[in-house]
């Protein structure tokens, strides 16, 4: 009996909570699907980020090398355009490159010219070097050679580059081979990894040091000499433009601000990274071909031989911080944990809803009642707002009338009395000066009162009435080429002050917008009373260009809408079929039997 009763209780429990358990099962299945999907996407996004970074690195290096080659070709053009080229010309050319963002030399250690010197010209070259106070050809050759290529010009001028003047790299078999390849091909050629002379760090005891680098040679040929064949190019050779680079400057600082800090970057000179010499290593630990903990991602990109006659391998591999530093690294676990938590939360909510259906219906009824009360409170708040605006404008109209009809005349009479008194005391200089001062002060007070009167309410509304005030305002736009008409005005003298001011200001803003933006020739103003709706309808329509999709609401449109909403009305602005813009404002008011102008 005990077992049976227990099974019955479990059955009843499951029947009551069938919906909740169904929600739990479905939510857990969806959570597992989301977990696998997010984990796959996170890894795919990380791979895309890695591939984008490596491609960007290759592109930066490729473009950087091309910029340097452009500078070398420009130097070759200097020899084609000037003959002879002096040391000042060369220094001037290099100085002109340095400020230019396209050819900036912040990655080149030196840009020089190795002159083609035959054995019979060697003595003249040495004599000229001594006359200029620069170093003679070095290293001293062992015996006579068929040709020499000493560096005649080297820039920019620094201690390391000055020491390289006169250096003949052709004496080095490795450099000789590269120079001969460049000469025969007619295009730039680079050496393997070499060591170039650079300035030492500021805190070093040495003046110059050797650093890893490469040297690029670009042949310079005699002007107007044929160079279609290898033999012709050898015969026309004049020398080489020589550029030296440190690998740290060339590769390491090419993109240091943009490169992902958790990706290792290595550059190898050759077709196989594991068997080639290392030109640059970002973190100082060689990863290509090394065994150990496998990186999350690794890959190679190549800069082909077409650039400088050598193939460079750019090897990239992620560091542990690449995955640790990823903002989405823990996203799959977060999705799994969150999904399980949400699943049980939904289970609990569904269970509570199933057992609390009656309470839910009662809460729904209470909510509807609260909504009705809130809507009623909003309506009362809007009515209070409209009443405050109307009272404010009525008070401004009364105050303006009092200032204009009461204080104004009294001040004018006071000014006349002061002028009369001034005439009576004209014999006394002190009294006359005092009276003149009082008269000036009185005029200032009158001006202040007049400005205050005008600021309280547009004077034209009280002096001319709404319709005539609008006609006067419209006439101001005739010189701008805008013809304005007011159609079928009705008797509008019974309007509240707030409605009058709002109507006047809305038409003002609409006319100003027509002149500024619409390029219209005619504008129509239509004003009518809608007594059933207890509202004043105001329409301003022009024949201009209309409203475009990219037009944004300015201060004028916002002001029109705010003035309308203050009175509980609505304002719309739309384009008219055939061209033009229509501004329509509906200004509610509560009609009374008394004329507000006749109060008091």
Q: Which CATH number characterizes residue 183's domain?
A: 3.30.450.350
- Mean pLDDT over 22-31 rounds to 90
Q: Which of 402, 431, 456 is a domain's end point?
A: 456
**Residue 401: which domain range?**
384-456
What sections of 305-356 are H helices per DSSP? Answer: 320-324, 331-355
User: In this structure, what DSSP letter does residue 85 have?
Assistant: P
Name the residue with tokens 């909403």: 565
Q: How far apart are CA 278 and CA 268, in angstroms?
A: 5
What's the predicted TM-score (pTM) here?
0.53
- Same domain as 198, residue 95: yes
User: In this structure, what DSSP letter does residue 200 have?
Assistant: P
Predicted confidence band at 596 (pLDDT cuts at 50, 70, 90)? very low
- Half-sphere exposure in the Cβ direction for 179 (13 Å, CA): 26
- Same domain as 10, residue 154: no
For residue range 524-564, what is the model confidence (pLDDT) as tens digits?
999 888 777 678 888 999 988 888 777 777 777 888 888 88
Q: Which residue has the higher pLDDT, 198 or 600?
A: 198
Flag whether 389 is in a domain. Answer: yes
Query: Please, are residues 184 and 233 in contact by the beta-carbon 8 Å criterion?
Result: yes
Flag whether 488 is in a domain. Answer: yes
CATH number for the domain harbouring residue 552: 3.30.565.10
- Same domain as 518, residue 470: yes
Diameter of the chain by CA atoms? Answer: 131
- Same domain as 199, residue 90: yes
Q: Which residues pair with 318 in a beta bridge?
A: 263
Element (H, E) at 221: strand 208-221
Q: Which of 202, 229, 259 is a domain's end point?
A: 259
Indicate if the pLDDT at residue 579 is higher than 70: yes
Q: How far apart are CA 349 and CA 365, in angstroms?
A: 20
Identity of the highest mean pLDDT range in 39-48, 88-97, 190-199, 234-243:
234-243
Q: How far apart are CA 97 and CA 150, in angstroms?
A: 24
Sequence-distant (≥ 6) Cβ neighbours of residue 348 within 8 angstroms: 20
Indicate if the pLDDT at residue 323 is higher than 50: yes
Q: Three-state SS string across 501-567, please?
A: HHHHHHHHHHHHHHHHHHCCCEEEEEEEEECCCCEEEEEEEECCCCCCCCCCCCHHHHHHHHHHHHC
Predicted confidence band at 598 (pLDDT cuts at 50, 70, 90)? very low
Pull the structure tokens for residue 551.
């037009």
Q: How far apart are CA 417 and CA 426, in angstroms?
A: 14
Flag whether 22 is in a domain. Answer: yes
- Same domain as 244, residue 113: yes
Lowest mean pLDDT segment, chosen from 28-42, 177-191, 306-320, 481-495: 481-495
Query: Please, are residues 474 and 487 in contact by the beta-carbon 8 Å criterion?
Result: no
Flag whether 230 is in a domain. Answer: yes
- Same domain as 104, residue 245: yes
Q: Roughly how many angstroms between the first and final C-alpha of the chain, as a whole number?
A: 95
- Same domain as 221, residue 88: yes
Predicted confidence band at 184 (pLDDT cuts at 50, 70, 90)? very high
Flag whether 278 is in a domain. Answer: no
Q: Which residue has the higher pLDDT, 35 or 417?
A: 35
Please name which of 253, 264, 249 lies closest in space to residue 299, comparing C-alpha atoms.
264
- Mean pLDDT over 558-579 rounds to 85
Confidence at residue 215, expressed as pLDDT on a 0 to 100 scale: 95
Q: How far apart are CA 158 and CA 361, in angstroms?
A: 88
Please name which of 343, 355, 358 lies closest in space to residue 17, comparing C-alpha atoms.
355
Q: How far apart are CA 440 and CA 433, in angstroms?
A: 11
- Same domain as 206, residue 99: yes
Question: How wide is the angle at C-alpha 116 spanned by C-alphas 115 and 121, nearest 5°?
Answer: 105
Pull the structure tokens for residue 569.
């009305």
- Same domain as 90, residue 214: yes
Flag whether 182 is in a domain. Answer: yes
Flag whether 415 is in a domain. Answer: yes
- Same domain as 468, residue 430: no
Mean pLDDT across the chain, nearest whole number?
81
Confidence at residue 328, expressed as pLDDT on a 0 to 100 scale: 64
**Region for residue 568 given its phi and psi (left: phi exceeds 0; alpha: psi -120 to 50; beta: otherwise):** left
Q: How far apart are CA 565 and CA 188, in angstroms?
A: 75
Confidence at residue 202, expressed as pLDDT on a 0 to 100 scale: 79
Confidence at residue 599, expressed as pLDDT on a 0 to 100 scale: 43
Flag whether 594 is in a domain. Answer: yes
Q: How far apart are CA 456 and CA 462, in angstroms?
A: 12
Q: Which of 259, 274, 290 is a domain's end point?
A: 259
Domain count for the chain: 4
- Same domain as 233, residue 135: yes
DSSP-derived pairing of the beta strands 522-530 and 483-487:
parallel
Lowest mean pLDDT segment, chosen from 101-105, 356-360, 398-402, 588-592: 101-105
Secondary structure class of 267 (helix, strand, coil) = strand
- Same domain as 451, residue 337: no
Pull the structure tokens for residue 436.
């003149």
Indicate if the pLDDT at residue 112 is higher than 90: yes
Q: Which residue has the higher pLDDT, 300 or 380?
A: 300
Q: How far apart are CA 367 and CA 361, in angstroms?
A: 10
Predicted confidence band at 595 (pLDDT cuts at 50, 70, 90)? very low
Residue 164 phi, psi (nearest 5): -85, -10
């Amino acid at each position: 009996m005990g077992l049976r009763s227990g099974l019955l209780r479990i059955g009843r429990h499951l029947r009551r909570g069938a919906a909740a358990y169904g929600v739990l099962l479905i939510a857990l299945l969806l959570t597992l699907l989301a977990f696998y999907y997010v984990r796959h996407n996170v890894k795919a996004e990380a791979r895309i980020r890695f591939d984008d970074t490596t491609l960007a690195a290759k592109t930066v290096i490729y473009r950087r090398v091309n910029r340097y080659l452009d500078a070398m070709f420009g130097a070759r053009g200097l020899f084609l355009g000037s003959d002879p080229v002096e040391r000042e010309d060369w220094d001037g050319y290099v100085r002109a490159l340095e400020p230019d963002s396209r050819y900036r030399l912040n990655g080149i250690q030196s840009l020089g010219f190795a002159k083609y010197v035959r054995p019979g010209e060697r003595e003249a070259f040495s004599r000229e070097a001594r006359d200029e106070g620069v170093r003679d050809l070095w290293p001293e050759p062992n015996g006579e050679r068929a040709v020499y290529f000493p560096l005649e010009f080297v820039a920019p001028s620094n201690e390391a580059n000055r020491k390289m003047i006169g250096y003949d790299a052709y004496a080095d078999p490795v450099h000789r081979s590269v120079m001969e390849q460049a000469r025969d091909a007619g295009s730039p050629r680079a050496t393997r990894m070499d060591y170039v002379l650079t300035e030492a760090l500021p805190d070093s005891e040495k003046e110059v040091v050797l650093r890893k680098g490469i040297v690029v040679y670009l042949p310079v040929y005699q002007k107007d000499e044929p160079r279609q064949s290898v033999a012709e190019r050898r015969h026309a050779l004049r020398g080489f433009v020589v550029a030296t680079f440190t690998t740290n400057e060339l590769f390491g600082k090419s993109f240091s601000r943009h490169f992902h800090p958790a990706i290792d970057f290595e550059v190898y000179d050759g077709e196989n990274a594991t068997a080639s010499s290392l030109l640059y290593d970002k973190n100082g630990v060689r990863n290509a071909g090394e065994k150990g903990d496998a990186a999350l991602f690794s890959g190679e990109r190549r800069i082909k031989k077409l650039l400088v006659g050598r193939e460079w391998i750019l090897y990239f591999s992620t560091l542990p911080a690449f995955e640790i530093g990823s903002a989405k690294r823990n996203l799959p676990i977060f999705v799994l944990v969150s999904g399980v938590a949400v699943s049980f939360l939904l289970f609990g909510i569904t269970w509570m809803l199933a057992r609390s259906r009656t309470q839910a219906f009662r809460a729904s009824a209470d909510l509807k009642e609260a909504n009705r009360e809130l809507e009623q409170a909003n309506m009362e708040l809007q009515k209070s707002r409209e009443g405050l605006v109307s009272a404010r404008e009525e008070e401004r109209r009364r105050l303006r009338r009092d200032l204009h009809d009461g204080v104004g005349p009294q001040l004018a009479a006071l000014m006349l009395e002061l002028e009369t008194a001034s005439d009576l005391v004209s014999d006394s200089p002190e009294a006359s000066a005092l009276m003149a001062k009082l008269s000036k002060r009185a005029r200032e007070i009158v001006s202040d009162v007049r400005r205050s009167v005008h600021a309280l309410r547009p004077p034209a509304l009280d002096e001319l009435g709404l319709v005539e005030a609008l006609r006067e305002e419209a006439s101001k736009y005739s010189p701008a080429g805008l013809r304005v008409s007011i159609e079928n005005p009705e008797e509008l003298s019974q309007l509240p002050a707030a409605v009058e001011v709002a109507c006047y200001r809305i038409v003002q803003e609409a006319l100003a917008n027509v002149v500024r933006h619409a390029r219209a020739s005619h504008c129509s103003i239509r004003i009518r009373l809608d007594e059933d709706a207890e509202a004043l309808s105001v329409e301003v329509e022009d024949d201009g260009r209309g409203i475009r999709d990219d037009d944004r609401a300015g201060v004028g449109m916002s002001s029109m809408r705010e003035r309308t909403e203050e009175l509980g009305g609505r304002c719309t602005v739309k384009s008219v079929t055939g061209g033009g813009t229509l501004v329509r404002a509906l200004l509610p008011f509560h009609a009374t039997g008394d004329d507000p102008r006749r109060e008091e």
